[in-house]
Amino acid sequence: DAKTTQPTSMDCAEGRAANLPCNHSTISGNEYVYWYRQIHSQGPQYIIHGLKNNETNEMASLIITEDRKSSTLILPHATLRDTAVYYCIVRVAGSGNTPLVFGKGTRLSVIA
């Protein structure tokens, strides 16, 4: 799996959009970008994944650059409950039998 680089921490005001960047310059053509988050003391939770087109679901949007070397996870209206560590992971899609490789992630603090 390709290595990813994320900022250690970020702050976001409640109600504003939270934009979390991720660099993955060595991503391969068949690798997708996945995002998970871990709220304090809970197990990680899947958020979204994508290959090259922008993706949106009920939790977030994922913007992937045209060269696929970086991406941004967007939480459109951050709430206090979005305070968590966010992990960007690159791996082959449909590889449900492949263990996840977690980096340090970005600690997002949503501030009232």
Partner 1 sequence: DAEITQSPRHKITETGRQVTLACHQTWNHNNMFWYRQDLGHGLRLIHYSYGVQDTNKGEVSDGYSVSRSNTEDLPLTLESAASSQTSVYFCASSRSQGGNEQYFGPGTRLTVT
Question: Which residues 80-99 are close enough to bind partner 1 by CB under 8 A?
Answer: 93-97, 99
CA dihedral (48, 49, 55, 60) in degrees, to 10, reads: 20
Please tell me whether residue 65 binds partner 1 under the rule CB under 8 A: no
Query: Can you tell me which of 104, 107, 109, 112 binds partner 1, judged by CB under 8 A?
Result: 104
Evaluated on CA atoms 25, 26, 29, 31, the torsion sign reads: negative
Please tell me whether residue 53 binds partner 1 under the rule CB under 8 A: no
Please tell me whether residue 41 binds partner 1 under the rule CB under 8 A: yes
At 18, give phi and psi (nearest 5°).
Answer: -105, 125
- Piece of 1-9, 19-27, 43-51, 74-82 that binds partner 1 (CB under 8 A): 43-51
